[in-house]
Structure 1
Amino acid sequence: MSDQTKMASVSRQKLIITLLKDASSPITGSEFAKKTNVSRQVIVQDISILKAKNEPIVATSQGYIYLNSEKEDNLHQKVVVCNHSPDQTLEELYLIVDHGVTVKDVKVEHAVYGDLTASIRVSNRKEVEQFVKKIKETKASYLASLTGGIHLHTLEADSISKIEAACKDLKKAGIMI
């Protein structure tokens, strides 16, 4: 943070919404913090407040995005069940995104917490590499490690044939159940 005046919370939250709606790629909390002269933690709180007000903001490994329901209405989705070791994550995600398919999320069924879902939103190899790198750098575990490798993904594409092609390759690789 610099010595500039901090932006008031209401103004900051309006700016966050405006920037997210106009963005063509995710925006990180650090980027918002620089623009508004507050800490990243303040931005995290602002995002939580906006989500509580039903703003369709999603946190991804690349940053925050604003879900445009009009855009999503034109997309096909399919939930697939996969099972693999953590070492096969990169292969799995590449097989999917190489077909022009987005991996929207990952879901596991936890014995105590029930269904756990995390937004991934990777659409190309660069985003996959950033996601896997962030997992390694933070020493985080993949959600699938909670279930012995079994997990679900919501796949999204502009045509069902792209999703079907990705599924065919996942089956061939022994990843999709």
Structure 2
Amino acid sequence: MNRAERLEKIEEILKNASSPVSGSYLADLFGVSRQAIVQDIAILRTQGLEVISTPSGYYLDRIKKLRRIIAVRHSKEEIFDELLAIVEAGGRVLDVMVDHPLYGEIRGSIGVASRNEVTRFVNMLESSGQEPLLSLARGFHLHTVEADDEETMKRVEEALKKLGFLFLG
């Protein structure tokens, strides 16, 4: 199977998937490296396919929802509380961004929308032994948050404000 055929198959798999599809699964399915799948996903994105990357895998951004970048500040010990507050208010955390003085914007995928996904993400972070991106900016960071509507987004912001995490400047 050549790359063009593989791209068609990956697109078909993503369109039919009801949950994120892991890069490892796709690599095994097509007998290629995980890096080849990463490159395939990049090509699909340049072709206009809105592929979202999460720690759980890839999925298509089918439904247009309200998105907002929210500034927050807290300690690394409060990551679970922050993410849980967002998802319990009805939001989905797509990513985290920090502005590094040397490298500029650094962004990482999060992709959590439920308590189970938050727990899995925080457990992966803790077991990795790595510092979270917020450590690079003294706790200040940005999240792209997705919600079904403005009312839900306001609930997300209020939940963060109540915890003292919402950065108001």
Give the alignment's TM-score, normalised by structure 2. Answer: 0.88
Between the two proteins, the alignment pairs up a number of residues equal to: 167
Q: 2:81 aligns with which of 91, 101, 105?
A: 91
Q: Measure the CA separation in 2 of the matches of 1:82 and 1:29.
A: 30
Contact 1:78 1:156 in 2 (8 A): yes
Q: Any conservation in 2 of the 1:102–1:156 contact (CA below 8 Å)?
A: yes
Identity score, percent: 38
Determine the structure 2 residue equivalent to 1:39: 33
Equivalent position to 2:52, from 26, 42, 58: 58
Instruction: Tell me the residue number matched to 1:10.
Output: 4
| Partner of residue 42, structure 2 | 48
The answer as to whether partners of 1:62 and 1:130 remain within 8 angstroms in 2 is no
- Tell me the TM-score normalized by structure 1: 0.85
**CA-CA distance at 1:60 after TM superposition:** 1.1
Report what 1:167 is aligned to. Answer: 157
Higher deviation after alignment, 29-38 or 47-56: 47-56
- Residues in 2 aligned to 1:169 and 1:51: alpha-carbon distance in whole angstroms: 33
Structure 1 CA distance, aligned partners of 2:142 and 2:160? Answer: 13
Report what 2:118 is aligned to.
128
User: Take 1:141 and 1:52, find their aligned partners in 2: how far apart are those partners?
Assistant: 31
Q: Is the 8 A contact 1:62 1:131 kept in 2?
A: no
Q: Which secondary structure does the structure 2 equivalent of 1:50 belong to?
A: helix
Give ranges in structure 2 of 5+ residues lacking alignment. Answer: none
Shift of 1:54: 4.2
Instruction: Structure 1: give runs of 5+ residues left out of the alignment.
Output: 1-6
Partner of 2:103: 113
8 Å Cα contact 2:95/2:144 also seen in 1: yes
Q: Does the aligned pair in 1 maintain the 2:96–2:109 contact within 8 Å?
A: yes
